[in-house]
Structure 1
Amino acid sequence: MTGALWLIATICFVLAIYPVTLYPLTLSFARKRIPNRTSPVDPRPTLAICMSAYMEERTIVSKIESLLAMAKLYGPARIYVYVDGSSDRTAELLESYRDRIELVVSEARSGKTAGLNRLVELSTEEMLTFTDANVNAPPDSLVTLLQRFTDPMVAAVSARLIFANNSESGTSGSTALYWDMEETVKRMESDTIGLVGVDGALFMIRRSAYVAAPNELIDDLYVSLMVTLNGGLVVSEGSVLVEERNASRWQEEFQRKRRIACQAINVHRTLWPRLRKLPTGQLYGYLAHRVLKWIAPFNIALSALLFWVGFALWVGFAPAMSLVMAGLAIVLALSAAGLRYARGVLSAVTSLIGVGLGVLDSVALGRTYTTWTPAPSIRV
């Protein structure tokens, strides 16, 4: 009985860590490699740079100045900004840029996706770029991303995201460590089967490949998955490093993970009838990288429970419970004493709980998180 429980627990644990361990290992054995074709594009196609902003008065001026520098270096580019019902000075600060950008200010909140959809409808350019208001990018980012479109199969290109405040807290450190693993997986994915979904920090897409997301769904995952579903190739350009802050408080990271997981599952539920018909390699990538990642909290919880029950059957329930309580007390004590690694462990656990609750939000409650408030520590 104990052996059977431990075997099932081991399987659950392996499935939980599969997306960042065995999955990239399997990609390393892939025979097919996507060539990294890059060359200067002349003349450059027209480009619309689209951004939705909410409560960004601390960063909006520096962000717009950065986008203006990027657009100037690119050439035929126009900046489109949507302000989503901000009650701070975001819209006010942008007024002085009306002669250089297309500015759309909404008095009511509609959500990021609705705002970006309005900007795309307003624009006419051949290429589209999406970025977040809190992301810092080098001036030549757009020029470098465009060079990947030399390959006619490439329909969308994503930059590589790194976090600027890794050492600020246990929470920011554990999140950055996880994200470094994610970016490693993405690079391998990009070189073999193509990216299965992108994040919205900075990515460029052909207008002909763009399919607008429903307003209640998150735009970056939906748009990039639709590119794949329609036969286009999504790749990562690792030489373009963009930077942002991540949440430094565990409460903020918990809420962020919950929201992101819920939004991701909503996209999955909407597109699954088409996703399940993907070619074998891409379907494997989607299931191994995305789906297993979203259900990892449940696999970890089941694995821990089965390991504990098996251990309790072996040594007795009282000693097994005492061991668990002692371990928990040690981690809490070390965290209270300010040990960063202990706080990182607690933050990782709360993040996993957030992901699990986000999945349940989508499946059981039908939540959408169409609008949300950014974590304060991200906007410092």
Structure 2
Amino acid sequence: MEIVLWILIGLSVYIYVGYPILLKFLSIFIKKENQSSQDYRPTVSLFIAAYNEEKVIKEKIENALQLDYPEDLLEIIVVSDDSTDKTNQITQSFSEKYANVHLNIVKGRKGKTAALNKSVHLAKGDVLVFSDANSMYDEDALMALVKHFNDPSIGGVCGELRLLNSTNSSIGESEGAYWKYEKLLKQLETITGTSIVANGSIYALRKELFKPMNPNVGDDMQNPLIIISQGKRFIYEPNAIAREETSTESKEEFNRKVRIVTRSFTGIMHYAYVLNPFRNFDFFYKYMSHKFLRWLVAYYMIAIFLINLFLLDKSPYMVIFILQCAFYVLALMGIKWKTKLTYIPYYFCLVNYAALLGTVRAMSGKRQATWKPTSR
């Protein structure tokens, strides 16, 4: 039991601390250069996924039209997943005024991924950019993304999502800290070869590499795997910036994370063939460390606590047990009292409980292709 306990503790520490340290060490010896060019101007199709986004769709289309990119090289396609509010009417009003703005209504609401599957064939651009309706791009975001496609080894590029916590909510502050950690990982992964995740708010890929996706799995989870499986790199560009508001409610953020893990875990089961260490070891150890093993941390936490109960007759394990109890008490206090001392343990437990539910749902065969937008 002692051996198992220390293995689980070591694994948990590796996932959150050891992995970035390992990447930092590898980056001393491995540095992948990119042949990007600021002058490279491919034709671009910007897809904006929307379901009942009447509150933000006008601002989003205006934001897309104001991007610093030649108008004749950019088309904007709003993919409406059979919206029932004024999303379609608002978009249509822009289509009548601007020749490069188009609306594609996908009937029968099947979810974002299915809607994109049925829309990509409409794209005239050589580069596909995918965005959410509530994600506002900086003016030069598109230029920062597409410059990398000058390099034939690059198949996809993920931008930087910056969360705005205008309400100063503790859940928003925690989410912001999480994204800073994710940014570090993606930077180090890119330096050492390929990053393994995208963000649905802002990422791009070569149209020629696009393949139909599993509708039960998030597009931003699948597309990096599809790109990497074709021998291309998927990289991170920190200067391609999208901004959106953080969640203000813990319940809303929790449900979002359960949905993401459910779809992502379903996805990796669907794309298990990519996790072949003999085929691409760089991707294998990165995906296992960055995503797969992290989804299982809740199981490690439960096992550590239960095993620890059988070792309380030895003083070192009594200390470990007391530290665990103190951590969980702070997390419980964080439900009601959102302070800097409590919201980190609370958020840590929240996301791992969400991962627990998400993996259980995925393994039990539950699917979630559609959902309602978060309140804004």
Q: Pairwise CA RMSD of aligned residues? A: 2.7
The match for 1:39 is 37
Aligned equivalents of 2:305 and 2:212: distance in 1? 41
Give the 3-state SS of the residue equivalent to 1:21 in structure 2: helix
Q: How far apart are 1:325 and its partner, in Å? A: 7.3
Paired position in structure 1 for 2:350:
350
**C-alpha spacing 1:284/1:324, structure 2 compared with 1 (3 Å):** closer
> What corresponds to 2:208 in structure 1?
208
8 Å CA contact retained: 2:164, 2:244: yes
TM-score of the superposed pair, with normalisation by structure 1: 0.89
The answer as to 2:70 corresponding to 1:69 is: no
Q: CA deviation at 1:165?
A: 0.9
Q: Which of 93, 96, 109 matches 1:96?
A: 93
Matched, 1:14 2:10: yes
With structure 2 as the length reference, what TM-score do the two structures score? 0.89
8 Å contact kept, 2:163–2:243: yes
Could you tell me whether the CA contact under 8 Å between 2:330 and 2:342 is conserved in 1? no
CA–CA distance in structure 1, aligned partners of residues 309 and 183 of structure 2: 33
Please state how far the C-alpha of 1:166 moved relative to its aligned partner: 7.7
Whether the 8 Å contact between 1:71 and 1:77 is mirrored in structure 2 is no
Q: Tell me, what secondary structure is at the counterpart of 1:168?
A: coil
Q: Quickly say closer, same or farther: Cα 1:279–1:57, change in 2 above 3 A.
A: same
Q: Does 1:79 align with 2:80?
A: no
Residues 186-201 of structure 1 aligned to structure 2 (within 5 Å): 186-201=186-201
CA deviations 1:53-107 (Å, max 9, x no partner) are 0121111111000111227546401111111122322222212012331101245
| C-alpha spacing 1:309/1:200, structure 2 compared with 1 (3 Å) | same
Within 5 A, what are the aligned runs for 1:13-162?
Answer: 13-30=9-26, 31-42=29-40, 44-70=41-67, 72-73=69-70, 75-99=72-96, 100=98, 101-162=101-162
User: What residue identity is the alignment partner of 1:59?
Assistant: V
Contact 1:172–1:248 (Cα < 8 Å) also in 2: yes
Give the structure 1 partner of residue 295 of structure 2.
Answer: 294
Does the Cα contact within 8 Å between 2:225 and 2:274 map onto a contact in 1? no
* 3-state SS, counterpart of residue 238 of structure 1: strand
Could you tell me which residue of structure 2 aligns to residue 175 of structure 1?
175
- 2:308–2:321: 8 Å Cα contact kept in structure 1? no
CA shift in 2, pair 1:53/1:17, >3 Å: farther
Matched AA of 1:359: T
Taking the aligned partners of 1:74 and 1:185, their CA distance within structure 2 comes to 34
After superposition, the C-alpha distances for 1:256-285 in whole angstroms (9 at most, x for unaligned) are 111111111111001112322532222111
Give 3-state SS (helix, strand or coil) of 1:29's partner. helix
The CA deviation at 1:48 is 0.8
Q: Quick one: structure 1 residues 297 and 187, their matched pair in 2 at CA, closer, same or farther if it must change by over 3 Å?
A: same
Q: Deviation at 1:161? A: 1.4
Q: Describe the shift of the 1:93–1:298 C-alpha distance in structure 2 as closer, same or farther (beyond 3 A).
A: same
Q: Structure 1, residues 12-49: CA drift from partner, whole Å, max 9, x if none?
A: 1332242331112112222221114332235x221111
Between the aligned residues of both structures, percent identity stands at: 25
| Structure 2 runs not aligned, ≥5 long | none
Secondary structure of the 1:225 match is helix
The question of whether the paired residues in 1 share the 8 Å contact of 2:327 and 2:345 is answered with no
| Offset of residue 143 of structure 1 | 1.3
Equivalent residue letter for 2:283: Q
**Is contact 2:330-2:341 (8 Å) kept?**
no
- Asked whether the equivalents of residues 160 and 242 of structure 1 are also in contact (C-alpha less than 8 Å), the reply is yes
Shift of 1:217: 1.9
